[in-house]
Copies of this chain bind each other. A is one copy, B any other.
Amino acid sequence: MHSLRFTAESSSNGVVERDFTVGGVPGVLWSPAPEAADRAPLVLMAHGGGNHKKHPAMAGRARLLTAGCGFHVAVIDAPGHGDRPRTAHDEAEIAELFRARAAGEPEGPIVVRYNDHLARLAVPEYRALLAALQKLPEIGADGPVGFWGINMGTAIGVPFVAAEPRITAAVFGQHWPDALAEQAKRISIPIEFDLQWDDEHISREEGLALFDAFASKEKSLHVNAGAHKELPRFEADSAVRFFARHLGRAVTPQA
């Protein structure tokens, strides 16, 4: 069992940011000010393909959850991403993706295959992350835990949540069903799922098929007009309210 090693700490606008490694994997933990942090709910996030743990999308969502709801929020770099080295396999898959994109060929088959590969590496890392976080006195092992990951974050999150009974609510979205639908059938916690109606990579049928696969009695699909990268910002606010509803905190609006 790996434990969390903190490597840096800073604080801004009432949010404490601590860099850490767990089993050699670099991550970041955002927390409310110490007096509000005790046994606060935890949300694990996973970043999108080509991004990293402190991408503005991650930092922005974390701020909404931490400053807005008083949650702890943690994210780690995916294999081959952020501060982690790329393997020859990573380099080959990325080159193949760029080649397909330049040739105007569908990206889906490559992304599905590569994300599935990364998810198999990342799921045990996320399980170790959760175990290590729950040993921190300000988090503990009893509180509710959410998961939030879109795109590659969903490719990692669906098998992770299917294998992890400690996750009690999850936000997913924007992925092909191929490698994920069978595992989604094993997930029955409340979920919110985002899909872009005019996604140039993921067809409507593919997006709807993945949403449909979840066994959850409470599941909400949010479809918005627009292309793959045009997920509206108000869906982040919606996800925060979803976690506040299920992890048991009120939302304080952030400017």
Task: List the interface of chain A (C-beta within 8 A of B).
Answer: 197, 204, 208, 211-212, 216-225, 232, 234, 237-238, 241, 245, 250, 253
Contact = CB atoms under 8 A, between A and B. Distances in A.
A218 B233 CA distance: 12
A218 B212 CA distance: 24
Given A234-B245, A238-B238, A222 B225 contact: no
A216 to B, nearest CB: 7
A208 B218 CA distance: 20
Nearest to A220: B224
A236 to B, nearest CB: 13
A219 B211 contact: no
B223 A220 contact: yes
Contacts of A208: 204, 208
Contacts of A238: 238
B220 A221 contact: no
Contact of A225 (B204, B219, B224, B253): B219
Q: Which 4 A-B pairs have the closest CB atoms?
A: A221-B223, A219-B225, A220-B224, A222-B222
Contact of A221 (B197, B216, B218): B197
A37 to B, nearest CB: 24
A211 B223 contact: yes
Given A234-B245, A238-B238, A245-B234, A220 B222 contact: yes
A219 to B, nearest CB: 5
Contact of A219 (B218, B224, B234): B224
Contacts of A217: 225
A96 B185 CA distance: 40
Nearest to A238: B238
Nearest to A211: B223
Contacts of A223: 211, 220-223
A13 B5 CA distance: 53
Given A197-B221, A222-B223, A234-B245, 11 more contacts: A208-B208, A216-B225, A217-B225, A219-B224, A220-B222, A220-B225, A221-B221, A222-B222, A223-B223, A237-B241, A250-B253
